[in-house]
Each structure stands twice: as C-alpha cells, then as structure tokens.
Structure 1
Amino acid sequence: MADTLLVRALKGKPKTLNLCNKKLDKVPRAIGKLDCVVHLQLRGNKLKDLPIELSHLFQLQILNCGNNELEDLPEVLEYLTMLEKLHLFNNNLKNLNPKVLTHLRNLTFLNINNNQLKTFPPEICRLSSLQHLSCTNNQLTELPVEMCALIRLEEFHVAGNQLTSLPLEFGFLVNLEKLYLQKNKIRELPESLGKCYKLRTLDIAANELRIFPTELASLPLKELFCEANPLLQHIPVHSVQEEEVLSLKEMTARYVMRELKDRWSYLRKAIRHYPQIKDMLAQASKCAVCGESFLNTWLECVRFVDAQGDLKLNNLNGLVPVRALLCSYKCFNSAGHDYYGVAFP
C-alpha cells in the first residue's frame, strides 16, 4: 500500500506526504526520490528506525513520527538540516542521540511527550533555534544546566516527570513565556526564575513547593497554578532572635559593597584589578528590609502577597507565600515590616 502511494506521489511532486496508520514497520526506500516533500506524516505505525534514504529529503521542514516504536533518535535525522518541527510523542525513546541534536540547528518545535527519557544529554543546547519543547510524561529526574542555553525557548512543558528541582541558571531562559511543571516533585524554584521577564504562565501544581522565589511579583504573570502543594500558611509566629556573629569574609564583603555605592570611594577603582572578587560580589543579595547587600549569611523569611491585588492574577485567589531574604536578625527584629520567619515542622 505504501509503495503504491509513493509511486503515485512521484508523478505529482507533492509538498505533503501522509503515511499515517499504515501499519508500517519500515519506510519504503523509494521515499528518497521525493525530494520535494516539505511535510512528512509517519504517525501511528510500527517504526523502530528510519531509512538512510530519508536524507535525500533536503527540503523537509515538518516530520511527524508520533505513535511508533522508536527507542532513540534515528541517525538519519542529522542530515535533515532544514527540519523545523519534529514530533516524536508516544514512542519508546530512552535516549536522545547527541550526534543528531548537534545538527538540528533550525529546529523550533520538539514534541517528545510520553516516552521513557530519564535525562537530556548536554548537547540539548545545540538546538539553538528551539522555541517550543514538550517532554510531558517521561521519567526525567533532572535537567542539565546546558538546557539553560536555549535562549529562544518560549514554551516548556515538562509535567508528569520526577524532577525535584530546576537548574540554578534557569533565569537565562529570558524569552520563556509559558512554563508547565505540574505533577513533579519540585521542592524549590530557583531564585533566577525572577529573571524570566516574559513569563506569563506558570503551572507548578501538584509538587512539593512550600514557598515562591523572592522576585515572583516582578514577573508579568497572567496565570499561576499552584494547587496541591504544601505551601506555607499565613499563621504568624512571633519570635525575637539574638544578633548573630558574622564571619570575617561576610563582614568584609558587606563593607566593600557599601563602599562601592560611593562614587568617590577608592575601592570602586581598586576592585577592577580583582575580577574574581568582583564576580563573587556580583552574586550578592539585597536585604528585603534595609536594602543593604550581603553575601552568604542571611535569614530566609516569607511574605504573604495577595494573588489578585499584588500579583494581578485573575485565575487565583488568596495569599501566596513568597521568599524574602534578610541580612540580619537586627532587621528581622525591627518593627514595621510584614516578613515572617520560616518554621519547618
């Protein structure tokens, strides 16, 4: 049946070829003669690999291999350098061939939902044009830091996996607009999430989250889904703590950072000769109460913000716990702020 369709197609030079649900366990090699095809549908067959003849489809932009039996990315895909959209949902994928990923520089859309992937190779960063990545219902336990180099990524679906955290560098995904993390085991979101300045939808439902990052309110969120998480409740417990003794490194860092605010300070010029110290101080945080910078010694507190009044969310009511960092117990004990200490059971 497939051979007959290909013979007919050869006469018409089609842009689209549909071989869905033909019970194919192999793609006919004659397909290599259809170098005019832009969109190839192979969904719903029994394919475990793709023939090398597919490499002749140098104009191919869309390939749908969903609902097959592939266990790895077919090596022939590395020759399809014009490919823009690739569907591999409902297969048996256990690995993503790094060699293939390296050549798919024009890929903007990748759907690998419902497979058996446990991790991404570092070469995932080679998909430099990727805008939409969907890997729902796999077995991912972590995401490689290299994934954060996908700076064109706009939509990321990773629901139904085994993730417990996201890379600390997640904020490099500056074009991310939609992030779906529901039904994982995530305990904490990275502070760098606040750098995703275009994020409009965040779904973190059914995880193990207790508190949100400090800069949640700075995100342009329109939708936030966080049900079925053990979020901190607004039950304030008042406590006065004694001032801690700071390390010499911390005291020095705080002094230097205060001096750097003075445009006439000698340290502003001197620090240029110490790039390692400059990079270290660049990782500093600011106290939510006094606004002073600190390096490592801080108190984790929580502030409860109104989902509609403060975050401008239409889909969520009530209070949302947001992390706040304070530089000292002196600030914690001061009057007039609405930050509370985090008590773990």
Structure 2
Amino acid sequence: MGSAPSYVVLDRVVHLDKEAVKEESEWAIMECRDRKTYLRNDHVGDEVVYGLSLLVQIAEPPDLSKLSIRLSEPPVQVAARPEEILDDGSSVLQLLDLPKRALNLHTSVQSVADDLIVFTSCLRNRTHRYLVYDAIGKSLSMIPCLPNRCDPSATFQSLPLRAGAGGDYTIALLGRDMRSDRETTRRFFQDVLCLCPPPPSSRPPPPSSFSAVTTPWQFKNPLFPPETPNRFKAHMVFSSGGQAFWANLAQGVLYCSCHDVLTGGYDVPFRYIPLPPECHLDPMKNQLRLCRTMNCVKDSIKFASIDMVPPDEAMMTTWTLTLATTQWHKDGELRVASLWGAGGLQEGRVA
C-alpha cells in the first residue's frame, strides 16, 4: 500500500472477508494487540471478538475507503459426554454438535471520532453489540447494547469520547432508565447518561433500576436546561473543542463538556442552543437528513441547510456556531445548481 492520504471517506458497510477481499494485496490487516469483551456469559460474543480481524482498503477521496471483517475458525472443543462402550470393549467419547461460526455477522460503521471506530454488529443469535477499535491503543473491544429496560432517548448512535491524547475512552448514549419506587411500586423513567467502558466517576444502576442486574454500563446524571425540547431527538452526534454534541436538525443543539463526562462528577450539566429562528422546522418533517447536516469543521461547528422550495431554485445556507456567545453567524447562501458546475465535484464524480 502507498502512503495514506490526509483524510479518508469511510464506507459505512463492513463486509465479511469472503465477500469483500478479492485482491489480498489491496488490503491491510489492522494491528490489534489487545482484545477485550464486556459481555457476560455470552459465548457467541466471545467467539467473535477473539476470532475477528479487521482489514482496511485505503482509497484517495472522494473514493470510499473500506473495512472488512475476517473471522477465523474457532478451536474445536470436546464436550464432556458419557463414554460409549464398543463391542470390542474399547470406548470412545461422544461429541456434542459443534456450534456453527457466526458467519452472518452483520456489521456497519456507526461513529468515528478521536481515533476510535464504533461498529454495530448483529450476531447470529440476533443480539446487537458494539465493536470498538482503538487506533491508538491498537485494541478491539465488544460491548453489549443497553439493558432491556434502558432505552436510548435521543438517538441509537453512540458517541465515542476519549480522555486526552491517547487516553482512556468511553462510548456515550443518552438514555431513559426504568425505575421503581419501593414505597408505591410506581414505575417511572429517569434520564441517564449511559457510559461504557465506565469512567471512574460513573455509577452502576441503583437497586431501584430494572437495569441493575449484570450490565457493564454505568450511568451519570444529565442536568438538562429547562429550554430543552421535550423528548429531544438527535440526528447527529459529534465532539469538538472538548464538547460533546447531540444535534437536532430541526430544533437545536444539546451539548456538555467532555471533561464532565470522562473525569467530572456524577452530575453532568448540559446546555441547549436553538437553531437560528428562520431554520426552525417541524421535527417530524420527512427527509430532514437529506437537506440538512451539522458537524465540526476543524474547530468550528457548521450547520448547512438546503431550502428545496422551489426545487429548481434550491438554496444552501451555511451557519457557524460560536459557543462563547451561543450565537449563530450566517456564512452565506449559494444556489445548489451552481455546485454541479464546479470542477471539483465533476472530477470527484459527485454530480
């Protein structure tokens, strides 16, 4: 392989080795010095994480770089069964049916940040898991999904966060955990910030939680400001400048300090910034992701919106968020039709 480009555009689809790798010389095995599973009594998950290799094919942008999974065959294990006595007096050990390899492992890239790649995988027993590859520590970990009675509240997309350059990491999800009042037996939901691997200042689910049994996830207490919309939903998650963001492309941005998540106390204060007034939309509007996006560009938070009415005069407006003042600044407007004539887009085969 030649020298790596300064950045890559990663295909979200992760294929199995037998489907994706045709020319071995085009692929490189990603180094993995350490493997860890946070699963408990899950032999299928253990089998996968310790028998899995990641391969990468790097392409110059705008072509897609690709990831592939190679699953090695597990060692044959002899199950303890009673001996069968043969006619000649000798004996043989009867074997249980050996499990089939999880070759229907469906995997996709969910999040990439801070030299961490978070995958979601559906194993052969139809359970979902997170796979996390740490490009700095050269490690691969498998993490279970949230407990049954704790549901993601803002989005199913996890947010990987790292403590400093090359430090420990966690993946974060905003959730609603089912609790029970011991005196009244009333059930209710509690907002929680779910973290795994859990940082030191997080806490396991309390006894009143239905998630308290056998989960590696631990919680922190998110303190949402009163102006946060009810049942806030996030279309985008990302981190920038030491802040973690959950963005609703119709309403606004909910964010907190990464330091508070990783090394701060149990309570995590959040702040909310609404979108510019002219950008507010019905949150239930269809195809919202097709006409809006938000993410970090270097040290700035950028928001791009395309007004599709009328279709032949669609306009794209970009905004920059200044966190210090919590204000949006309009960068400018551009007719979408003018983009298709740009040389870079034509050469990149986007048009």
Q: TM-score range by the shorter chain?
A: under 0.3
Larger Rg: 1
What TM-score does the superposition give when structure 2 sets the normalisation length? 0.22
Between Structure 1 and Structure 2, the one with more helix by share is 1
Between Structure 1 and Structure 2, the one with more strand by share is 2
Q: Which has the higher contact order (CA 8 A, sep 6+)?
A: 2
